[in-house]
Amino acid sequence: MLERVANPHADSLYLARFTVPEFTSLCPVTGQPDFAHLVIDYAPDQWIVESKSLKLYLTSFRNHGAFHEDCTVAIGKRLVETLAPKWLRIAGYWYPRGGMPIDVFWQTGEAPKGLWVPDTGVAAYRGRG
């Protein structure tokens, strides 16, 4: 259950970031675990996400079989549905399986004017380079 609470600073434009360095889901084909580093940025409006419920929601994917693209975009859409933020983006940096990393990015549109949006801070995969 993803929960929301009233934003105590709904009159302010700001960015909240959740970093999830150990996200896990299951490959829908093989049933083997897939791992990702997620970065979720959003500009709250009237609601903010209750962080423990977000943690439990994301942990539930450990038993969920879905492709990388589906997991990443579905999480973003669920947060938008629950929170109705001014803006949201999610970056999924998936660790390689089969020799190929997959990075998935989704956002609701252009960031609001005046919102500081820092880089996600995750370097592109370079292997043992």
- Domain positions in the chain are 15-107
Please, which pLDDT band fits residue 126 given cuts at 50, 70 and 90? confident
Mean pLDDT score of the chain: 95
Q: Kindly indicate whether the domain formed by 15-107 is annotated with CATH number 3.30.1130.10.
A: yes
In this prediction, residue 124 carries a pLDDT of 78
In this prediction, residue 127 carries a pLDDT of 67
Q: Which of 11, 27, 41, 119 is catalytic?
A: 27
Q: What is the pTM of this model?
A: 0.94
Beta strands in 8-99 (DSSP E): 16-26, 33-43, 47-49, 87-97
Q: Encoding tokens for residue 92?
A: 């999924």
In this prediction, residue 5 carries a pLDDT of 98
pLDDT tens per residue across span 21-76:
999 999 999 999 999 999 999 999 999 999 999 999 999 999 999 999 999 999 99
Give the span between the Cα atoms of 46 and 79, in whole angstroms: 13
Q: Could you confirm whether 71 is annotated as catalytic? A: no
In this prediction, residue 98 carries a pLDDT of 79
Cα-based distances in Å from 113 to 14, 80, 120: 11, 19, 19
pLDDT tens per residue across span 76-102:
999 999 999 999 999 999 999 878 889
